[in-house]
Structure 1
Amino acid sequence: MITLEPVGWVRGGRSDPVDDNWDSEQAVIELAPAFPEGALAGLETFSHAEIIFFFNRVPESKIETGARHPRGNTAWPQVGIFAQRGKNRPNRLGLCTCRIISLAGRSLRVQGLDAIDATPVLDIKPVMREFLPRGPVSQPEWATELMQGYW
């Protein structure tokens, strides 16, 4: 058993889990009361952060464990849940790299976070060039098509 406690919550931004056009969305990540303001100190010196969050609105009955057509689009191949980034994942974890807009006390304002209002945040990490992929990144054509309107 693994037990995780949120480090914060998404405040603002979208309230409905609608795909696409996330790039202009702004939201605030508000730290949980257990964390002092100093937990975010220095994060504003980075341009981006990786946010790990919990898809808390996905019911267990909707979790996928096998293969499916991404977004139900039968023009795309059936691929395993671990070969796509859908929210109906076994552990319901989301990961997004977003732009840091500002930091004020216990509140981090970000842009392009694809998590909705009241989403529990499990971790916040600064993006460092050295952790980005080393070498070319490749993906199938269906993934490129799927992502055309996402940001």
Structure 2
Amino acid sequence: MEQKYDAATNVVDDTSLLDELGLKPDTLIQEIGLDDDVDDDLRDVLEEHLDEPLIDEDEQEVVDVALLWFRDGDDDLTDALMDALTTLDEGGVVWLMTPRSGRDGYVPPVEIQDAAPNAGMHVTSSAGVSANWAATRLVQRKA
């Protein structure tokens, strides 16, 4: 898939990134799993182009998107996905951010495919959004 960042400068292409993630200026995004290893350039682009700041994981506001940063060695992925659903609006999306292959904390795609149905979700697509992080789009299964 075409990557949305310039590996030489590690700069994210703003317009294509927002299109790729299906985000509009009024999208409310809750960020979960924030740590010092996340992609700050990606976070900066999101905050700059959205009318609302990223919402802290401790807030209970209903959101359109959950941006879940997850690494191998974090708690259970199924549990993390289920937690991401607690404030997600009906029809909302979880963007699961995992370290790319070869990076510390890499999560194999098979683990995501296994965890998603256990959390009542399914994988729909992926996006190239960062030099170090892969994005996987998950949605709730229809009842």
- The TM-score with structure 1 as length reference comes to 0.22
| Greater fraction of residues in helix | 2
Query: Who wins on radius of gyration, i.e. which is larger?
Result: 1
Bigger RCO of structures 1 and 2 (CA < 8 A, at least 6 apart): 1
Q: TM-score, normalised by structure 2?
A: 0.23
